Structure 1
């Protein structure tokens, strides 16, 4: 009987501790910042981005900043219109020439906007 109470007490303590830790911990949050998008655009323009990395940042909605959400949507639209996912594995750019030019313009606009807000 003593062994049963000891096992029951240890299990109760372990399960109670796990529940207490889970109840007090918060969900991790990831906030996309302008520097993250600029780094992604630079990698895409130099043909060093993977499709997974592109989709991870561009496919995740940005709820804390409307301007960044618009930039993200524009980048997603560029991929839909000018994307060449099948040629990425061959070392070719993620976007065609027109898409590269539009992405460069979007990147420059975001950089100018970020510099303006940094002042």
Structure 2
């Protein structure tokens, strides 16, 4: 009988611990920040990004910042219009020449917006 109570108490402790851990743990959240988009755009302009890395960031909606989501959607549209993912394996750029130019403009616009946002945060 003592062995049964010991096993029951240990099982109850383990199951209770797991339930408590699950109750107090939160679901991890992935938040795309402007720096991540700028880094991705830089890699794409330098022909160092793969299709999978591009799709991982660009196809994930950004719900915490409408401006960033607009930039993401514009980049997604660029890929649909000017993308050449089949040529990445040959060492060629992810986007054609027009797409590269538009991505460079989008990158500079995002960088300027980020600098303005930082300047506004630092002003009292």
So what's the TM-score if we normalise by structure 1?
Answer: 0.96
Ranges in structure 2 where 5+ consecutive residues have no aligned partner: 120-124
Alignment of 1:12-23 (within 5 A): 12-23=12-23
Q: Encode CA deviations 1:15-42: one digit per residue, 9 max, x unaligned.
A: 1101100100111112111111000000
CA distance in 1, matches of 2:40, 2:115: 17
Ranges in structure 1 where 5+ consecutive residues have no aligned partner: none
Q: RMSD between aligned alpha carbons?
A: 0.8
Aligned residue in 2 for 1:44: 44
Aligned residue in 2 for 1:113: 113
So what's the TM-score if we normalise by structure 2?
Answer: 0.92
CA distance in 2, matches of 1:91, 1:77: 22
What is the DSSP-based 3-state SS (H/G/I as helix, E as strand, rest coil) of the residue aligned with 1:35?
helix
Matched residue count: 119
CA distance in 1, matches of 2:23, 2:90: 48
Q: Encode CA deviations 1:62-105: one digit per residue, 9 max, x unaligned.
A: 11111101000000000011111111111111101111011001
Which stretch shifts more, 92-101 or 3-12? 3-12
